A and B are shown apart, each in its own frame.
Chain A
Amino acid sequence: MCGICGLMMDDSSLRYSPVGSILQDMMESQQIRAQDGAGIAIFDKNNAGDSFKIKNFRKEGMSNYSIDEVESSSENVPENLEKLSQDSECHFFSFENEMTILKETGLARDLDRKFGIRKMNGSHGIGHLRIATSSRVTPYNTHPFSTTIVPDIAIVHNGEITNYNMLRDSLELEGFTFHTDSDSEVIAVFLASKILKHGDIERAHREFVAKADGPFTYIAATADSIAIVRDKFGTRKGIIGYNPGDSDHPPFWAMATDLSALDVVGATTKIETPHPGKPRIFYRN
């Protein structure tokens, strides 16, 4: 019963779109759904550059973690990823260029207090509220998940990928690495593997829906797109709405698990439910 949300600003050329503030409102409005962890991924073109950030959770004591951040040029990314993978005290967190992922156990408002989510700007972003069902309550099992395969990909997920083990085995056989035991991570790794193969994000989503089994809705973001995808039977919720903008907010598309999240940010026009099994994608202008 996790809660997910996402938004894409209509005009990404605006330098200071209040993506963090809108996402935070959407997450807090769905807090009743889940209380074990909260996380966001925000994409901001102004952060894009030649270097990449590799973030890791470093274990400190029995249950505390700090966040390690390694700045890498494109040449030494593989070497740094390899080094971190051999460090048994580290858990992979994210691989970023223009994307920023922040996540922590606890409530959405605690995440904002710790990282100042409301002050963050960007073109689009996704958020997640976690209730732990199949893996432990730790920061590294919290969403969004990204991969070490390609930078700037993040997913949030509500539901269960029941054939997770089978998908994971075949991706590992192909040589792709997993960093957690969460079934949600398989979405990120699968999409990244397909982006690497053919570069078509819409096709990647369609291929995932064809192969994945179980009840789920996920929102996935790359640097240029955000998509909400429901399982082929539509057993998990998902809703999309549009806020035409006013003096406070520029216009944006929003998507979430509960209608309350759209209501709270005024995304109450052009309401639609994504068709089961058909990815609904919004591209950055």
Chain B
Amino acid sequence: MTMDLFSSSPRHSKDDDEPDSSEIKIYSVVEITRHIKFLIEESFPSLVVRGEVSNLTRHSSGHIYFTLKDEMAQIKCVIWRSQAQQMTFSLNEGMKFLVRGKLSLYEKGGYYQITVSDIQPEGIGELQLAFEQLKKKLFAEGLFSEEHKKPIPEFPETVGIISSPTGAAVRDIVSVCRRRMPSVQLVLAPVKVQGDGAVDDIVRAVKDFDTYGNIDVLIIGRGGGSIEDLWAFNDEKVARAIYHCSIPTISAVGHEIDYTIADFVADVRAATPSAATEMAVPDESEVEQQLANLRYTLIQNMENTIGYYRDRLNHYEERYAFRRPENIIEQYRQQADDLERRISQQVVHCVRMNGQNLKHLENQLRTLNPRNTLKRGYTITHQRNKVVQRLHHLTEKEPATIEFYDGKSEIEIRKNSR
């Protein structure tokens, strides 16, 4: 470069802004840079550029720097910290984005760049991307893994609900619970389920229930809505709160087709709040049936056991050992009978014998009867109503009676002689 080049060049330019001037304007670097800056920034106050992200740098200041490129060219981009904090998803190299912003010139670097005011993934929605990214991240951390899943208790006495107090979800949960098992206690932590404050509400409610403790199972959910409406349930803070909650949780967000991060991190995902309640609360009639079966089995068992022991008892009773006393008694009884028989025989014998004796004695007696002697011709003398056996008992001059076999005779005793 020589001064010649500069001094001669204006002459060729006839329609120069300053045709009369032979002087060439000499810029300082900052002057020309500012000039360019002005031109650029005035021409493109706002623009949208499509391209692929590369050379991604997240500075510790919080600003994000990257290059947006296509096959032919590239352009530097910056996302200031305040903007970066509001992003729901994070940038990945190689992904295509639509970048909205202003073209600006960075004076110190001498290059132009896009100051990004909004960036959206191309093809899928921004929220969808955020969802996929958080899902991937938490999956990698193991928040969804099966080994962390707690079993849902079979018979909860108290069910916690985190939902909007005015939403359809709570109404559904209450009505399903009433139908299945009205004795279950339902406790609601009223929260906003969408919009500002929803995430904080839900996180606080999860922690409150966990601290409170007297909850057997927790249902976290809301009725259906757009992906924006359900967004609180895709929040990382909500996901971590659920993960750290010691109460078994059932997520029930939206409809059948809606999947949220909360669904993946919860112990069980239910398609709807009603379905969640059916999982949490058993059906009373089924439990009654189960109870009736157990009761029947219990009684059956008791009867069987009693029957078994009764049989054994009967068996033992029939053994000889148990029958011995009976035998002995019978033998004694028989012996007694025998003795009785013998005694009575003896008596009969005795009586009979005595009867014979008696007759014999009677005969003997009969033969000894003095009247028999009278038969043979002897007489008995009575005086003064006494039998006179000896002569000297007989008193003279007195009457006496002589008894014959066939009669008596009154006599007078005249004189006794010896």
Q: Is the pairing of A and B real?
A: no
Query: Which B residues contact A (CB, under 8 angstroms)?
Result: none
